[in-house]
Amino acid sequence: MARWREWAAAAAVGLLAPACAQVAPAPVAAAETGFPAVDRQFAKFQTDEHLAGLVWGVVRDGRIVHLGASGVQDIETRAPVNAETMFRIASMSKAFTALAILKLRDEGKLSLDALAETYVPEMKGWVYPTTDSARIRVRDLLSHVGGLVTDDPWGDRQQPLSEADFTAMLRAGVPFTRAPQTAFEYSNFGYATLGRIITNVSGRRYDQYISAEIMKPLGMNATTYEVRDVDPAHLARGYRWENEAWVLEPTMPNGVFGAMGGVVTNANDYVKWMSFLLDAWPPRDGAEKGPVKRSTVRELAQGLNFPMNIDRVTLEGGAPCRYANTYGMGMNAGLDCELGFTLAHSGGYPGYGSNVLLMPDQGIGLFAFASGTYAGASPVNRRAALELHKAGMLTGRTIAVSAPLAAAYRAAGAMYGAGDIEPGRAMLAMNFLMDRSPDNWKRKLAGLKEKVGACRSDEPIKPTGALTGRFAWTCERGAIEGGLLLSPTNPPGIQALEFSISDK
């Protein structure tokens, strides 16, 4: 029963994701008191970081439900920032590259477990750091475990690198900082290599493939990889705060390294991307609406078992939070102490800083684009999400109670009421009475009833999946908390039932 109790405890605090359960859309919170607090967080961020321009937003149910913009696109023209202002989003571009790789995999054109050199022949001559080093797979590049050295900010300055120069670099080989598949280490070079894989496998340059196969089908018609194609009237110029003044950063054209950080977009377009990603959750029946399958989008959250412990920011007076984070494929997947399951990625670039934070179980996401060199937007974006949480606006989705779970819950109530397992015997899985005898159950139930008396067992169960749920009963002299775990059989039976006296 130890594992069952661990499961029950995790489910109680929302650490277990629902599996294959029908889920209704979350209701829109009536109170929007969190939005002014969100705006205050971004106003402070802009002041503290000396940002010329800033735009931020909250996305829900396929649209922007709150948008903020402040500052100017250009300190000379003083044109104000708005939803059409185009920003470089730097490494937030990696999710597009990762999804393009997964789309090509879906089309049968590549394998994630194939050696990267299968698709980039110039890598075949690379000298690995040890004789027993694993050779780099496509999957390793996606999750930054290829043994390549962290290359911020060097990689940012490679943005204009030509195809020919990159080919020469690949052919010459690169030094390794460690053996592949031994640790996470963020590599822009690795994502540039993924761009080359897209180019070689698709027969189109990576940016053309991503634009045609992902961006345009989503209606992201303003989004581009080439900043020189952007109308200057809509471009946020990139600035560095230096010697108490803004200094214009050089505008770098698109090149090979755009696969790791070259996307230029605006709020109106980016919300379409965020909405598409969020729509992949929860798993459900129904037609596919996007250019890539929902199940494939959910793979962006899958990493390679190299977790990091992160001490994240808190609101004033908030409790410390340290959570586990793993780099998946173009996104960081984490379990936040208050926000639950999150997908996030920052972008840092000469002249720009950005962040996206998705909360798939909430159906909500936040983004921020700033015109300031390496402006760290991740902390403020997470503080903004915490403001929404504090205001009660993160209500989550309502999981429908499945028929098997409802039947098991009725049986649990009948067994407690009778003080005996007999009313629910027909629903018990084969292990149930092997784990605790009928007589022992009688003693267990009698002891509970002696302390708290009769209970309202008709109070709703809160499913954590189609075959799992938690419940709380109000009793004559206290309260009962419990959990149900059904078996992987057809029909499902009750494999574990937990009752405990609530200390709340």
- How confident is the model at residue 399, as a pLDDT? 86
Is the model's pLDDT at 249 over the cut of 60?
yes
What are the tokens at 350?
A: 């000469």
| C-alpha dist (Å) from residue 481 to 9, 26, 248 | 11, 25, 60
Reported confidence tier of residue 390, pLDDT bands at 50, 70, 90: very high
Reported confidence tier of residue 157, pLDDT bands at 50, 70, 90: very high
β-pair partners for 56 = 68, 368
- Threshold 0.85, pTM exceeds: yes
Contact 138, 112 (CB under 8 A): yes
CB-side exposure of 439: number of CA atoms within 13 Å? 0
Is the model's pLDDT at 1 over the cut of 90?
no
Residue written as token pair 């800083």:
353
Helix (H) or strand (E) holding 468: strand 468-475
Is the model's pLDDT at 4 over the cut of 70?
no
- Report the C-alpha gap between 258 and 205 in whole angstroms: 11
Is the model's pLDDT at 21 over the cut of 60?
no
Nearest CA among 50, 139, 145 for reference residue 101: 139
Summarize the confidence of residues 332-336 as an average pLDDT. 96
Is the model's pLDDT at 360 over the cut of 60?
yes
Summarize the confidence of residues 424-453 as an average pLDDT. 97
Summarize the confidence of residues 218-226 as an average pLDDT. 98
Q: Please report, as a single letter, which amino acid is at residue 448.
A: L
Contact 81, 71 (CB under 8 A): yes
Contact 106, 290 (CB under 8 A): no
- How confident is the model at residue 440, as a pLDDT? 98
Contact 206, 93 (CB under 8 A): no
Is the model's pLDDT at 5 over the cut of 50?
no
- % of the chain beyond a pLDDT of 70: 94
Is the model's pLDDT at 24 over the cut of 50?
no
- % of the chain beyond a pLDDT of 90: 91
Q: Please report, as a single letter, which amino acid is at residue 498.
A: E
- How confident is the model at residue 239, as a pLDDT? 98
Nearest CA among 323, 359, 364, 462 for reference residue 11: 462
- Report the C-alpha gap between 156 and 40 in whole angstroms: 31
Is the model's pLDDT at 15 over the cut of 90?
no
- How confident is the model at residue 234, as a pLDDT? 98
**Residues 104, 107, 112, 116, CA torsion sign:** negative
pLDDT, tens only, 258-317: 999 999 999 999 999 999 999 999 999 999 999 999 999 999 999 998 999 999 999 999
Burial class (CB in 10 A: 0-12, 13-18, 19+), 241: middle
Helix (H) or strand (E) holding 11: helix 2-12
Nearest CA among 44, 27, 28, 33 for reference residue 381: 44
Compute the radius of gyration of the chain from its Cα atoms. Answer: 26
Would you tell me how many other CB atoms lie within 10 Å of the CB of residue 83? 15
Contact 471, 452 (CB under 8 A): no
Helix (H) or strand (E) holding 319: none
Ordered alpha helix ranges (H), 262-367: 267-278, 294-298
Contact 330, 188 (CB under 8 A): no
Is the model's pLDDT at 201 over the cut of 70?
yes
Coil/strand/helix, residue 424: helix
Would you tell me how many other CB atoms lie within 10 Å of the CB of residue 498? 18
The distance of Cα 286 from the centroid of its chain, to the nearest Å, equals 22
Coil/strand/helix, residue 455: strand
